[in-house]
A and B are shown apart, each in its own frame.
Chain A
Amino acid sequence: MPTILTHVPVSDGTPNRTALEALTRARQIAGENGWTCAASVFAPDATAAAETLGRYGAQTVYAVSDDAFAQPLGGLVVDALATVIREAAPEIVVMPSTEGMKDALGGLAQRLGAPALPDVVAFSASGTAVEATRPVMAAKFRATVTAEKPADAPVLVSVRAGSYTAEESAVTPEVIRVALATDPASLKASLREVIASASGGVDLADATVVVAAGRGVRDESGKALVDELAEVTGAAIGASRAVVEMGLFPPEAQIGQTGKVVAPDLYFAVGISGAIQHVAGMTGSRTIVAINKDPDAPIFDVATYGVVGDLHQVLPPLIAALREAKGQ
């Protein structure tokens, strides 16, 4: 039976949320076309994730277990994906548009001779063609792109965070263990050091509430207010490029065209002007609150609720009111 394969990155045993959103979409496409919905997972113990993937509808799970996947280099991910794809012979391969997958996508596309549709917000299959919608021009426009499946390769699609909603539909997956064809030690690149995220383990793209800071936050006293707002709302902390450049927030917090794309239920933009390159990474958010002292700041054009004012005046009573509402 034809197959649609979703690759699900896991970190510390937890499947990436965007990948589960993509898997949900893949399951719909499998249902519409009478295809098998399959998933692949690479981890030190990949079979441990199989049950979760079954919960999201993966009928077949290709599991590649190797300790190297605790912190894999891109070359290894390309090799493992190419091996699984040769075995599963899918029509379409879907993956989340994370930095980890962006690292592998080009190499994989070239190795397989597969057309790639990167960073899409929607995709569908009809016959052997895949059609997708992707933001372009710093997300000011959307392009519809198509690719025809080659005879001996799939079409590759990577999906932006928040494009679909992850929904469970449990099956008991058949787990197929696939051996890694490459000795990780044979890769030419070598990992010298990992500089762990300063923001703890929460991947911004997985958060349901984000508090994002911009240049208006300026210093430690502004940052303390942002931290407090994040704490009371249970949010992950994001940042504009300007404050990452200043060193006030860590680079993995950057949201936007160069940074991450996020689509939480609630997004606070604090002291952010709303440059198109920042907005490109956050307009998928359901509710947006903007706090900015400039009434003409473009961030207000995308805000659900806009508060004009100095963040030092606006945030303390807001934090207090949120605490009260949450009974904290």
Chain B
Amino acid sequence: MRFAVCIHQVPDVAAPAQVRDGQLVLDAGRVVLDAYAASAVEAALQLKESHGGEVEVVLVGPQKAAETLRKALAMGADRGTHLLIPEDAALDSRAVVALLAEHLGGSEADAILTGKQSQDTDAGLVGGMLAEALGRPYVTNAVGLEQDGDSLVVTRQGDRGQEVIALPAPCLVTCSNDMNDPRIPNLKGIMASKKKPVETVEASPEAPAVRTVAYAMPPEREPGQRVEGDEPAAVAQTLVRLLSDEARAI
């Protein structure tokens, strides 16, 4: 199958960051390939390896995001498309989807894969919106993906259990990071990625309909306490008393 995988660059959620004057300040400016999109790349690579095909990665982002596109190529994707937007462009899901849809509208990709959500915003909109924009059937939150002729067989994690869904191509699937462990590019992959074709297309995103107006810290929890003692039985008694008399939780 021919796969198109939508990937993007996100701030590293584990790096130090703070809120100053309502703005989010990323102290080290560390950025990474979105973990959910990385699982989508890995899923496409695995299916290509077992059934043949091609993997294109598509990214909407500023110049700096080119390194993320390279990373996916180093993992093993065949070619990349960088829909290049200005550094300071404010994006919402709709603007991203409009650019992706314009590029992928004419694409021969049998399957489009995205992450189930972005690691930084948890929005989870781009996949479903893009599928609808392109008139493709879609399944979200895949934890397993197999190929069966011209269809994908998707195991989707639902609220109460899993559903196994047959999805004929052309289609779109959004991937959970619980599906696989994305490979770390090795030296050979990194060298090879430098020769892989990347098409860069200048794009201007439409004005966002959803705006982020401010950032804040989450409400602080009341400071907690340690329940200590030499005897586990005494600690247990104390904890149960606190749970019933103080917290009124049991």
B104-122 interface (Cβ within 8 A of A): 116-117, 119-122
Q: 0/1 per residue, A214-227, Cβ < 8 Å to B?
A: 00000000000000
Complex Cα spacing A109 to B133, Å: 10
User: Which residues of B have CB within 8 Å of A283?
Assistant: 218, 221
Count of chain B residues with Cβ under 8 Å from any Cβ of A?
Answer: 82
Is A195 within 8 A of B161, CB to CB?
Answer: yes
Known: A103-B140, A116-B93, A193-B163. A289 touches B243 (CB 8 A): yes
Complex Cα spacing A188 to B134, Å: 14
Complex Cα spacing A281 to B79, Å: 36
B227-246 interface (Cβ within 8 A of A): 227-228, 232-233, 235-237, 239-240, 242-244
Complex Cα spacing A197 to B157, Å: 10
User: Which residues of B have CB within 8 Å of A288?
Assistant: 221, 224
Contact partner, B210, options A140, A146, A326, Cβ 8 Å = A146
User: Which residues of B have CB within 8 Å of A119?
Assistant: 122-124
Is A143 within 8 A of B129, CB to CB?
Answer: no
Does B184 interact with chain A (Cβ within 8 Å)? no
Is A141 within 8 A of B217, CB to CB?
Answer: yes
Contact partner, B141, options A103, A139, A303, A304, Cβ 8 Å = A103
B126-166 interface (Cβ within 8 A of A): 126-133, 137-141, 143, 153, 155-166
Q: Is the interface of A mostly helix, strand, loop or mixed?
A: mixed
Could you say which interface size class chain A belongs to? 35 or more
Instruction: Say which one of A44-52, A61-69, A308-316 lies at the interface with B.
Output: A308-316
The minimal Cβ–Cβ distance linking B99 to chain A, given in whole angstroms, is: 14
User: Which residues of B have CB within 8 Å of A126?
Assistant: none
Does A142 interact with chain B (Cβ within 8 Å)? yes
Is B239 within 8 A of A318, CB to CB?
Answer: yes
Does B28 interact with chain A (Cβ within 8 Å)? no
Instruction: Say which one of B12-20, B44-52, B53-61 lies at the interface with A.
Output: B12-20
Is B126 within 8 A of A252, CB to CB?
Answer: no
Does B187 interact with chain A (Cβ within 8 Å)? no
Is B224 within 8 A of A187, CB to CB?
Answer: no
User: Which residues of B have CB within 8 Å of A322?
Assistant: 240, 250
The minimal Cβ–Cβ distance linking A95 to chain B, given in whole angstroms, is: 13
Q: Look across to chain B and name the residue whose beta carbon is closest to the beta carbon of A190.
A: B166
Is A106 within 8 A of B131, CB to CB?
Answer: yes
User: Which residues of A have CB within 8 Å of B143?
Assistant: 251
Does A151 interact with chain B (Cβ within 8 Å)? no
Q: Look across to chain A and name the residue whose beta carbon is closest to the beta carbon of B161.
A: A197
Does B40 interact with chain A (Cβ within 8 Å)? no
Is A306 within 8 A of B133, CB to CB?
Answer: no
The minimal Cβ–Cβ distance linking B179 to chain A, given in whole angstroms, is: 10
User: Which residues of A have CB within 8 Å of B123?
Assistant: 118-119
Contact partner, B167, options A115, A133, A189, Cβ 8 Å = A189
Contact partner, B14, options A233, A276, A306, Cβ 8 Å = A276
Q: In this complex, which of A205, A289, A326 has the most chain B Cβ atoms within 10 angstroms of its Cβ?
A: A289
Does A184 interact with chain B (Cβ within 8 Å)? no
Known: A115-B209, A195-B162. A314 touches B137 (CB 8 A): no
User: Which residues of B have CB within 8 Å of A244?
Assistant: 178
Contact partner, A266, options B130, B140, B161, B243, Cβ 8 Å = B243
Known: A190-B166, A307-B239. A136 touches B233 (CB 8 A): no
Is A109 within 8 A of B227, CB to CB?
Answer: no
Contact partner, A305, options B161, B178, B213, B224, Cβ 8 Å = B224
Is B140 within 8 A of A74, CB to CB?
Answer: yes
Q: Look across to chain B and name the residue whose beta carbon is closest to the beta carbon of A118.
A: B123
User: Which residues of B have CB within 8 Å of A201?
Assistant: 160
Contact partner, A107, options B128, B178, B233, B250, Cβ 8 Å = B128
Is B157 within 8 A of A135, CB to CB?
Answer: no
Is B218 within 8 A of A109, CB to CB?
Answer: no
Does B24 interact with chain A (Cβ within 8 Å)? yes
Contact partner, B176, options A111, A141, A258, A305, Cβ 8 Å = A258
Complex Cα spacing A74 to B172, Å: 13
Is A140 within 8 A of B17, CB to CB?
Answer: yes
The minimal Cβ–Cβ distance linking B83 to chain A, given in whole angstroms, is: 18
Q: Look across to chain B and name the residue whose beta carbon is closest to the beta carbon of A150.
A: B209
Known: A138-B13, A138-B119. A252 touches B160 (CB 8 A): yes
Q: Look across to chain A and name the residue whose beta carbon is closest to the beta carbon of B122.
A: A119
Does B195 interact with chain A (Cβ within 8 Å)? no
Contact partner, A143, options B161, B214, B239, Cβ 8 Å = B214
Is B213 within 8 A of A306, CB to CB?
Answer: no
The minimal Cβ–Cβ distance linking A196 to chain B, given in whole angstroms, is: 5
User: Which residues of B have CB within 8 Å of A141?
Assistant: 17, 19, 24, 215-218
Does B38 interact with chain A (Cβ within 8 Å)? no
User: Which residues of A have CB within 8 Å of B178?
Assistant: 241, 244-245, 251, 254, 258
3 smallest CB-CB distances across A and B, nearest first, come from: A106-B128, A110-B132, A317-B236
9 residue pairs A–B, Cβ–Cβ below 8 Å: A107-B129, A110-B128, A136-B24, A141-B217, A144-B216, A145-B210, A191-B165, A192-B153, A288-B221
Known: A102-B141, A203-B160, A304-B225. 11 other contacts (CB 8 A): A108-B128, A109-B94, A119-B122, A136-B24, A138-B13, A141-B217, A143-B24, A201-B160, A252-B160, A257-B119, A306-B225
